[in-house]
Structure 1
């Protein structure tokens, strides 16, 4: 069995194979974590483009704006059991 097919949370749990890949210690599936990272990556890409275009007067203002956007998105979106970013 491949190493990625094992749950590694405690020594007892590590000995038992599971069907779903789980990343310790959060318990989120690998697909859910990947979805979250794609979301964060897109936020940084948007921020970079906005800063380059002059939308924000400074990097600090751009970062503050992006933090507010992420907070707003977190109230409207979540990652479902399949790891897909969906509206609440």
Structure 2
């Protein structure tokens, strides 16, 4: 690839980013029909590094509630992906408002 072509590609990519600057970030929660939710995401969910993604408030709240219900009465919870144990649901994830 020539240097000129590389510069043009980078300029096009930069313009794409700037052009989409005000676009909303979609909720990537997978629905029963196999599609993503698509509502505007308000949170970046990090499941202790095993899973990361953007979610809407409704799906974040639903997920936290299910996790808390599952953990109720247990001394710890274990991640099905990495097998790490956590003493509380709060230790399993972080959610940052976007």
Structure whose alpha-carbon radius of gyration is higher:
2
> TM-score range with shorter-chain normalisation?
under 0.3
Structure with more strand by fraction: 2
* TM-score, scaled relative to structure 2: 0.25
Structure 1 or 2: larger helix share?
1
TM-score, normalised by the number of residues in structure 1 = 0.27
